[in-house]
């Protein structure tokens, strides 16, 4: 199985300013940088940095040699990249102090992808191979048709969203990876969840990956729907966030990983990318992404250990009056979430965890004190002595008196 990305290569002119310029407004920028970019280039580099072999096809202009070189240096196979006359495609990108961006595209060489060139490239691929496409080059609809004819699995990132998207037969796509703006335009509604439901109804076989920025990402197909929370990150430049996610998602597909793991890795990679300036230059290697996930797991482990100590401490100190509502107040969560948390950490419900602590406390008192069974039951939080004997026997296989006699021998 091979993967081909038929996509754009741009030169990005990035202007940093306080806020995105409004209509009729003039704003002074405090920084200007030139970066390699283009959704196609970014996604190819992301996939290569994620550890897979990916072929890139697309046109670069007379000033685009640095783009081809960068892809090759990043591990992308550039054998199918075509150099054309004239200017390379470029983008004017505004980046606000909050890390938000606004992008203006000049197609340039990206509009020189001809049908003949597409045919020449696609003859090197066949059934079972993967085609990744965006909407920044010419003849996207033609490429979809031809790739479908030869049995390729087609992944579309419909960006930028414009009228050309309406020409594409979505029935021929295997996957679509899109954000809130793109799904709103396709579905005709502002609510991403409603948009997702619309696509699922209209194209039931299409596998949908919806990115929601700081709200995470969603995968949906005929059989399941999975949600991945976003990794926390201080946003510096979000330009390559979506492209990084897409490249890493495709890489996970190539390795035939479980979707939940693909989403996690792609989300972690995207979080790293937004913390740096630039597009292609911000895309992390897989070892950095793995380290971020490892750090997250370590943080979760530490947090879990802390919570376990708090839960056990509370139960041990409140055998006679413990309640999930009181524990929730101590932890700072809702009662419902606290109940879920206890079950996840302890492997049992709050009531069963409390019963286990009460039985353990009773067993300790039976072995190390001479007080009566009735008094022990009361100290352990049991008002009903018969119920105490029943629960204790279920736990230890003996009633309290038998336990005291046989265990002290």
pTM for this predicted structure: 0.70
Among 108-122, 294-308, 342-356, 381-395, which stretch is predicted with the lowest mean pLDDT? Answer: 294-308
User: What is residue 225's predicted lDDT score, i.e. its pLDDT?
Assistant: 93
User: What is residue 303's predicted lDDT score, i.e. its pLDDT?
Assistant: 79
Cα–chain-centroid distance for residue 69?
30
User: What is residue 297's predicted lDDT score, i.e. its pLDDT?
Assistant: 64
User: What is residue 123's predicted lDDT score, i.e. its pLDDT?
Assistant: 97
> What is the SS3 string spanning the chain?
CCEEEECCCEEEEEEECCCCCCCCCCCCCCEEEEEEECHHHHHHHHHHHCCCCCEEEEEECCCCHHHHHHHHHCCCEEEEEEECCCCCEEEEEEECCCCCEEEEEECHHHHHCCHHHHHHHHCCCCCCCEEEECCCCCCHHHHHHHHHHCCCEEEECCCCCCHHHHHCCHHHCCEEEEEHHHHHHHHCCCCHHHHHHHHHHHCCCCEEEEECHHHCEEEECCCCEEEECCCCCCCCCCCCHHHHHHHHHHHHHHCCCCHHHHHHHHHHHHHHHHCCCCCHHHCCCHHHHHHHHHHHHHHHHHHHHHHHHHHHHHHHHCCCCCCHHHHHHHHCCCHHHHHHHHHHHHCCCHHHHHHHHHHHHHHHHHHHCCCCHHHHHHHCCCCCHHHHHHHHHHHHCCCHHHHHHHHCC
Q: Which of 33-37, 165-169, 281-285, 330-334 has the highest mean pLDDT?
A: 165-169
State the angle between helix axes of 335-346 and 324-331 in degrees (0 to 180), rounded to the nearest 10: 90
Q: What percent of the chain has pLDDT over 90?
A: 70
Is 196 in contact with 208 (CB distance < 8 Å)? yes
Cα–chain-centroid distance for residue 115?
35
Average pLDDT over residues 221-246: 88
Domain ranges of the chain: 3-284, 298-407
Location of structure tokens 């793991």: 261
User: What is residue 409's predicted lDDT score, i.e. its pLDDT?
Assistant: 45
Per the CATH hierarchy, to which homologous superfamily does domain 3-284 belong? Ribokinase (3.40.1190.20)
Asked if residue 165 has pLDDT above 60, the reply is yes
Neighbours of 103 (CB within 10 A): 18
Quote the CA–CA distance of 131 and 189 in Å, as a whole number.
Answer: 29
Quote the CA–CA distance of 236 and 219 in Å, as a whole number.
Answer: 26
Asked if residue 146 has pLDDT above 80, the reply is yes
Q: Dump pLDDT digits (tens) for 269-321.
A: 999 898 887 778 889 898 888 887 776 666 677 778 888 999 999 999 999 88
Q: What percent of the chain has pLDDT over 70?
A: 98
Average pLDDT over residues 63-80: 96
Asked if residue 72 has pLDDT above 90, the reply is yes
Neighbours of 45 (CB within 10 A): 29
Cα dist from 251 to 260, 289, 370, whole Å: 14, 13, 66
Average pLDDT over residues 365-386: 91
Average pLDDT over residues 120-141: 97
Is 22 in contact with 54 (CB distance < 8 Å)? no
Per the CATH hierarchy, to which homologous superfamily does domain 298-407 belong? Homeodomain-like (1.10.10.60)
Torsion of CA 69, 72, 74, 75, to 10 degrees: 180
User: What is residue 296's predicted lDDT score, i.e. its pLDDT?
Assistant: 64
Location of structure tokens 């079950």: 343
């Amino acid at each position: 199985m091979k993967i081909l990305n038929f996509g754009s290569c741009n030169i990005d002119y990035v202007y940093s300013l306080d806020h995105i310029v409004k209509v009729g407004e003039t704003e002074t920028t405090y920084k200007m940088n030139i970066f390699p970019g283009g959704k196609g280039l970014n996604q190819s580099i992301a996939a290569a940095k994620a550890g897979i072999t990916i072929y890139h096809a697309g046109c670069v202009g007379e000033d685009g040699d640095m783009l081809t070189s960068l892809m090759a240096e990043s591990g992308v196979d550039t054998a199918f990249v075509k150099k054309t006359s004239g200017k390379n495609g470029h983008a004017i990108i505004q980046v606000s102090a909050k890390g938000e961006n606004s992008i203006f595209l000049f197609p340039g060489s990206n509009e020189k992808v001809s049908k003949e060139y597409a045919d020449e490239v696609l003859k090197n691929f066949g059934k079972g191979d993967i085609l990744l496409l965006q909407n920044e080059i010419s003849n996207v609809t033609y490429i979809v048709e031809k790739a479908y004819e030869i049995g390729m699995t087609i992944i579309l990132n419909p960006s930028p969203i414009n009228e050309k998207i309406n020409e594409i037969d979505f029935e021929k796509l295997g996957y679509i990876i899109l954000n809130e703006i793109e799904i709103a335009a396709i579905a005709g509604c502002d609510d991403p969840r409603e948009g997702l439901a619309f696509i699922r109804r209209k194209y039931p076989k299409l596998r949908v990956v919806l990115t929601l920025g700081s709200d995470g990402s969603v995968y949906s197909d005929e059989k399941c729907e999975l949600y991945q929370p976003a990794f926390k990150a201080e946003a510096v430049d979000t330009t390559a966030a979506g492209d990084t996610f897409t490249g890493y998602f495709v890489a996970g597909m190539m390795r035939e990983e479980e979707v939940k793991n693909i989403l996690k890795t792609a989300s972690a990679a995207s979080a790293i990318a937004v913390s740096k300036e630039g597009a292609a230059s911000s895309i992390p290697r897989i070892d950095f992404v793995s380290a971020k996930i490892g750090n997250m797991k370590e943080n979760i482990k530490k947090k879990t250990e802390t919570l376990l100590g708090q839960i056990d401490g509370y139960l041990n100190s409140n055998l006679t009056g413990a309640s999930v509502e009181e524990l929730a107040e101590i932890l700072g969560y809702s009662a419902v979430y606290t109940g879920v948390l206890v079950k996840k950490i302890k492997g049992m419900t709050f009531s069963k965890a409390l019963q286990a602590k009460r039985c353990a406390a009773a067993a300790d008192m039976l072995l190390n004190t001479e007080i009566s069974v009735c008094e022990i039951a009361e100290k352990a939080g049991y008002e009903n002595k018969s119920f105490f004997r029943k629960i204790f026997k279920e736990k230890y296989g003996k009633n309290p008196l038998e336990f005291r006699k046989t265990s002290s021998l």
